[in-house]
Structure 1
Amino acid sequence: MSETTGRVLQLLGLLQSRRVWTGDELAERLGVTGRSVRRDVDRLRDLGYPVHASKGHGGGYQLGAGAALPPLLLDPEEAVAMAVCLRVAAGGSVAGVGESALRALSKLDQVMPARLRSQVAAVHDATVTLTSGQGDTPVEPDVLMTLARASRDHEHVTAGYVDVRGNATQRRLEPYQLVTTGRRWYVLAFDRDKDDWRSLRLDRMADVKAVGSTFTPREAPDAADYVRRAVSTSSYPYVARIRYFASADVVAAAFPATAVQVQPDGPEQCIVTTGADDPAHMVPWLAMPGIDFEVLEPPEVAEAVTVVADRLRRAAQG
């Protein structure tokens, strides 16, 4: 790095650390003349950093907000604090924040020195996060970052995976996109051994490694739609189709987006597709919205509705 480049980066760090600097203060800190400070300020402006200059008492140089966010300089303590906060945010349930935090964390982790990375890991390991319920499934940040970078760089990945039935397998994957439902993370990937697309839960993955080789991207299905269908039906032995006598918007608002697929069936009707391990367990859940419905298929669910209805009728009669 040239002396001039190093000085410009040092100037940027100073401007980011305090609101206003006088020209004399900057010249003294950098060990140069006021003329050199002005030249370096012009170089920062050429790079897209909005450096404002004002005269008079209280004036000086100030780094302002621009149309786009330029690169930031972080000292070691700031980098560790930022990475720790991003790890927490990446596993959070605030809509939209988790994915953005993951992208930022992936960029920061890529350039962070090993000694700072170990500090971040130490803070993370010593921290316990209280979850909001049984549905929360924490994912190791290293798994998130490995898959995020591999998806971005089109890099092959190997991983161990335990499916819903407890079967452990080794997977060779082409990861395409991460999807979060708020409480769980999934990856849409092409399984090279099964020669097909798969939606995999990250909390069921272990020993995730990017192997170094890259792949040519295929034409991929819509990640959000694929995961939604997989979560709502694919892993269940009983998949039901239900006609509700209300609009699709009304019915969709009554269920979690990841639990059902809703298709309009006229202005005041819709078809809901969902799955369950036990038809009897499905019935009370289908009735929760308080909207009239009929079971189209399968017969096991229709029979379960009759059985549950009879049980409730007997209970009401005392």
Structure 2
Amino acid sequence: MANTSRRALRLLSLLGSRRQWPLRELATKLEASERTVRRDIETLRQLGYPITTVHGPDGGYRLGAGHTLPPLVFDHDQALAVAVALQTAPSTVFGLRDDAARALITLEQAMPAELRAGMKALHLTRLRNYWEFPAPPIDSTALTAVGAAVRHRHVLVTETLRADGSRPETGDDDFLPARRIEPHHLVIWAGRWYLVAYDLGDHRWRVHRVDRLRPRPTTHRFSPRKLPADDLAHFVMSSHDRGDTLDAWQCIGNARLNLPADIVARWAPGGSVVEHLDAEHCRLTLGAWSWAGIAGILATFDTELADLHPPELAHACRRLAHRLATTTDTGSRPPRDAG
């Protein structure tokens, strides 16, 4: 029964992903006989899904439009909210652009004609600004494995990949052996997925970038532990060793700050890297579209800067300091309210 249910759900997903399927292709995709696929189609019809038989040499099966997504029933406002979310969230939050696009197509096909027409009027054009950090691609299989391990409290065996998704070799600076961890929570921040987990190797809490993990599920259960902080968002944001790597920018520079790494990590922009130096100092490496842009970000940290690299960044900081020092007051009284 479980195999039948999984196959029927897979069949429903296939029918929703394109307009029409020949029976032979469905059987191949499902690794089942044509007779079994026909039986599963009848099961779905009994559940309320309007699957139409198309006769002729180019015939097959198609999922009819206009049904209300049984057993899930969306009203119009709910369906529109989901559709808008699928268009606006994937590139900046989920990192699952292709999967979200397919889900949107399936949702549109399931809508009544009136609502589907409204959806076409809500196709959005998203404009990316310079401070928007697109989410890195993430393997949906890996994300599912991590999510299931969190839900069922199963130990994971993980390897950490390079930023480009390749596997480090022994002797590489990035090489980390496979580790056994207890996954507790998934957190999304600045367009990236993070996993809060307890490392069974060195017995400490760590934050992992999910897109840089290669997880291997196990069936070993673990008991809940006292979390490292009451506020997990603060814990993730203040963890400087969470596996972040630099985004691609025209200009990239770094400086030594007289602040602890956890403070800088919390307020540094997404896509920057914070290196712990000692209890009171860290190094911040980040990028921007200009050296003045990096200088401006560094100026938001109310502390002394040292060891600026490269020289272009040091020059930009001096120019910024000079401009601020020579700024003149336009008047002693505050401006009058225009209202």
Taking structure 1 as the reference length, the TM-score comes to 0.43
Q: TM-score, normalised by structure 2?
A: 0.41
Q: Which protein is bigger by CA-based radius of gyration?
A: 1
